[in-house]
Copies of this chain bind each other. A is one copy, B any other.
Amino acid sequence: MGLAKTEIFSDQQNAIASFSKAFGHPARVAILQHLFKLDTCVCGDLVSEIGLAQPTISQHLKELKLLGLIKGNVEGTSVCYCINIEKWQEMKEILNSFLNQDLTSQGDCC
């Protein structure tokens, strides 16, 4: 079917999955790393930076924007993107609650 049965999972589980899915493609990872590295609005050089066609990058940016992880601003003929730091923090807290789970017993039962 190709569509996840989100209704049988908690909001938290679905949120973890949504953010993780966004990071589930190396192009989106690369885009976000580039935005962090430049540490300012990035206008236009994403296509040349990542090695994918312009419509493909645009599509990946759209997904990240939809999730709220990045913000875009029209600046003349180009569009400037940057990290939405508030949303990034929010995402980090949600993901960390999942990643930082601990095994009280030092496991290794298998």
Contact = CB atoms under 8 A, between A and B. Distances in A.
A50 B9 CA distance: 8
B85 A95 contact: no
Q: How many monomers of this protein are in the complex?
A: 2
B83 A107 contact: yes
- Chain A interface size, as a band, is 35 or more
A9 B23 contact: no
Q: Is the interface of A mostly helix, strand, loop or mixed?
A: mixed
Interface of A: 4-6, 8-9, 13-14, 16-17, 20-30, 32-33, 36, 39-41, 50-52, 71-73, 80-83, 85, 92, 95-96, 98-110
A51 B8 contact: yes
Contacts of A99: 92, 95-96
B109 A33 contact: no
